Structure 1
Amino acid sequence: MDFYLIEEGYHGNITMSNSTEEPLTSMTDDYSSYYDYDNNQTSFVCEQDDIRTFSKGFLVTIYTLVFILGFLGNGLVVCVLVKHRNQTNMTDMCLFNLAFSDLIFLLTLPFYSHYAMVGKWTFGDFMCRFLSCSHTTGFFSSIFFMVVMTLDRYMVIMYAHKVARYRTTKTCFSLIVLIWIMSVCVSLPTFVFTKLENDGETVSCFYGPDSEGWVYYDLFATNILGLVIPMLVMVACYSRIIPTLVKMRTAKRHRIVKLIISIMIVFFLFWAPYHISRFLKFLYSIDLLASGCSVETSIKVSITVSEAIAYTHCCLNPIIYAFVGQKFMRRAMQLLKKWAPGPVSFTESSFRRSSVVSKSSVTSTVIM
């Protein structure tokens, strides 16, 4: 992902920012080298102080909002599920780990907001590596758990009787452990190759692989595992689930179908622009796009904006996967009422009116 400080090493040469310029940072990415690097195809240096100023203010603002909203939403999901841990099923366990993944991802944002604001890394080498790896692990584990929840819905709805005996606590626990192991393994190169660079004026935390192969791994692993495969799984599963739901005799089936479609559309709209922008940057770095300051500027702005938009998706996960469910909403409101009795005035009947799900176990599984 582009949250490592990077990738001007496509030609085997990692360059750092000019000591006379204030480095631009987007998460742990060092985009200043992107402006100063001639890409083996040009002799110009693009002056982009306005872009740097815009990016700093924009990223700090967005990261702060995403952290606050995402932490509140995902934190509430974790608290509710922990409180009712004795009543959880496979869906609840996956939902808990999805929220936990998003929290890991979110907890790195204050550090990167500070990095973007002051223009240098002040937290040391280990934190540089650890936070970059944690950020990547949170990203991949969140995606993987969304894929697993999609596959689980598909199996329950299409093959309910056959899979019922396999949806045990032991099976779910084994699957969760496997997902976390996969997420950490995919993220390990980030920990290995992320490092500090001190040029005398500033300290940068960046992803500096030893070879082009690891740069390509970062790009294509993120695009394929972070967008292509999840999108294909969602389209394949939900395209078969929707006709089945339409045939069911439930009054709210159309609202459920709309929600499922919304899950796919929201995921694509929030993440696709970011992955496309990174891929365009890769094409530019290997001389497949026309060179010029206008191209560099366009790519930089698109990456900055699309990255910030993509990260806001973790704020929506609690709404999409948790708060639309009647059972979860009831538990959440009970917990909020316990914490703050005054402002919470929801009654049992309000849950029935506001819930998107019906009382059928199948449709509840679909939404949750």
Structure 2
Amino acid sequence: MLTERQELILRRVVETHQSTAQPVGSKTLANDPEIDFGPSTIRNELAVLEEQGLLAHPHTSAGRTPTDAGRRFYVDRLLPHGQRAELNLPIVKSEVDHAMRVTSATLAQATNLLAIVSAPPLEAATVRHVEVLTLQPHVAMVVVITSTGSVAKRLISFDEPIDSGLISWATEYLNERLSGHELGARTVAARLGDSSLGASERGFLEALLPVFDDLRSDSEVMLYVEGAGRLLGGDRLDNLSEINELLSALERRVALLGVLRVALGERDVLVRIGSENELPALQSLALVGAGYGPRAQKLGTVSVIGPLQMDYGAVIATVREAAWQLSRYIEDVDAG
């Protein structure tokens, strides 16, 4: 348990280190307008905070730097809770791919860090609408729109001219059988496995089915990453091995996605600092993430990865706002 004075000193060490990336000494703190006690008192309190594992004392400097535990105390106990930042996400009435790309790019620009957004998974999506159109006498186009805003289309060529009545029938039949149902291969096959259909109808439907395979294959690429150059530039990582590990983690998206999914179970923003991260590539970094989706279910995550001395208050507020706006976007898509 810290005293109010110790909490003040810890907060100012963390925040000064965020802005300077340098160890913070007692003289710097004594000149801080928020601190009204002398250098000797400050040195004593710094020593106490170090003994408690909240500060570290680099050999090359008389100043202190916050440890992972010190930053954790700062995030949990010293930051205001529930704040949201101003963030302009022009994603209303966008397709899901565009919304994810805009969100990741805007978040990277707003935080000047690496931003990662995961799209809603396929298993969370249902068919909203199917449309079958005639493009040419021998060519049809089928379009599938899902509840998460994903759109798939495919052109299908036939040897014989396409009966316009078959086109109209297929649109009506597919919507009747699939609208509101999941996109899984078994579900689609079961819903369309009607033995009463004639040979021409069954053959026409079978030709259209690959569009659902397209949706399933597209859903495997679920991460939208922006801002890697921002994080790698400006000496924000200490050494080449850290950079190499991070780049490898970005390539192994399955492992990274597993880390980000932890945020789906959080009521608010998830913060993982340094050694708290299970993925080795992130143990010299900090991760801030939040889930988004309708109130009853989190469908994806909005996350930022940056150096340990990131501005936690600003990043947490920005991630929280991005998740809130994406949640409203998903609700609007579902309602549409």
Scaled to the shorter chain, the TM-score interval is: under 0.3
TM-score of the pair, normalised by structure 2 = 0.22
Relative contact order, higher structure (CA 8 A, sep 6+): 1
Query: Which protein shows a greater Rg?
Result: 2
TM-score of the pair, normalised by structure 1 = 0.20
Structure (1 or 2) with the greater strand fraction: 2
Structure (1 or 2) with the greater helix fraction: 1
